[in-house]
Amino acid sequence: MKKALSTMMIASAIGMGGIAHAEMVTKPIAYEIEGQAYQGLLIYDDAVKVKRPGLLMVPNWMGVTENAAKKAYRAGGSEYVVFVADMYGTDIRPQNADEAGRAAGVVRSDRQMMRKRINMALEVFKTQADTIALDVENIGAIGFCFGGGVVLELARSGTPVQGVVSFHGNLDTPDSADAKAIRTPLLVLHGADDPYVPQEQVQAFTEEMRNAKVDWQLNSYGGAVHSFTDPTAKMPGQAEYNPIVAERAFDAMHRFLSYSMTE
């Protein structure tokens, strides 16, 4: 499997995607968890010099890729500094869906490990305030598909961030009682026809949130399936890009975070 991505590869990919900004910076950030090497990505518009809020982002099951960098820039633009978390370690860089499924399955099977990795990524992100104008008091978390489930586990771990947004993410958890530890507002952006997150899972999540009296919202988009924000998703009826719903979802994220972030 491929090792960590180079800055040149990612910057080139973003440029070809048509969303590059002349001052956009994509910076690999190496860190360790219990002696294992990880590498995330710090992405921000260098033309903005004032202190900005941050977004901790967990990508889909493919992990830290060029597409994840594109998604980070689309989400953050010039408004946020974004850190793309590495949930697998640098030795695991899936090259196809089978490899991604195995890698994600290992993390999903151990929620304590998942929570430890995402919480460590958050701490690494905060240290970047030493070199970039990042407001560490205003950090939210967003995730896509597998990553959506991860950021919900970040919330269930009791970590206080300004807001958590899940895009077409898994909603299940081994212990729904952990929702009582949630200390942050949640926004779930869900495809109403998502076959991988069926209505039974949505209903269980709804009850989990109600029972724990969480500050939460769920937007269910008619006609949308899994991966509706991913332009590479091309499995009709299962995982498929929906540009209109994607735009609505990103708008919803920005509105939600504008209320969550403090002045």
Task: Show me where the domains of the chain are located.
Answer: 7-260
Which stretches within the chain are classed as H helix? 7-16, 66-76, 97-108, 111-127, 146-156, 199-212, 243-260
| In the block, residue with structure tokens 């305030």 | 129
Cα–Cα distance, 161 to 147 (Å, whole number)? 16
| 3-state secondary structure at position 152 | helix
Distance of CA 259 to the CA centre of its chain: 19
Please give the CATH number for the structural domain made up of 7-260.
3.40.50.1820
**CA 186 vs CA 76, 160, 179: distances in Å:** 18, 12, 11
Could you tell me which of 242, 111, 233, 228 has the C-alpha nearest to residue 175? 111
| In the block, residue with structure tokens 């070199």 | 131
Cα–Cα distance, 70 to 226 (Å, whole number)? 19
Render pLDDT for 47-96 as a digit per residue (tens, 0 to 9).
888 999 999 999 999 999 999 999 999 999 999 999 999 999 999 999 99
Cα–Cα distance, 135 to 52 (Å, whole number)? 5
| Banded pLDDT at 261 (limits 50, 70, 90) | confident
Q: Is the pTM value of this prediction over 0.85?
A: yes
What pLDDT is recorded for position 263?
54
Cα–Cα distance, 230 to 207 (Å, whole number)? 29
Q: What is the mean pLDDT of residues 219-242?
A: 96
Strand order of the β-sheet with 81-84 is 24-33, 36-45, 81-84, 52-58, 134-144, 164-167, 186-191, 216-221
Render pLDDT for 111-160 as a digit per residue (tens, 0 to 9).
999 999 999 999 999 999 989 999 999 999 999 999 999 999 999 999 99
Could you tell me which of 131, 119, 124, 111 has the C-alpha nearest to residue 39? 124
Could you tell me which of 179, 189, 184 has the C-alpha nearest to residue 148? 189
Q: Which residues contact 69 (CB under 8 A, 6 or more apart)?
A: 5, 10, 13, 14, 26, 41, 43, 84
Q: What is the CA radius of gyration of the chain?
A: 17
**CA 187 vs CA 162, 167, 222, 233, 255: distances in Å:** 12, 9, 17, 22, 11
What pLDDT is recorded for position 123?
97
Render pLDDT for 105-121 as a digit per residue (tens, 0 to 9).
999 999 999 999 999 99
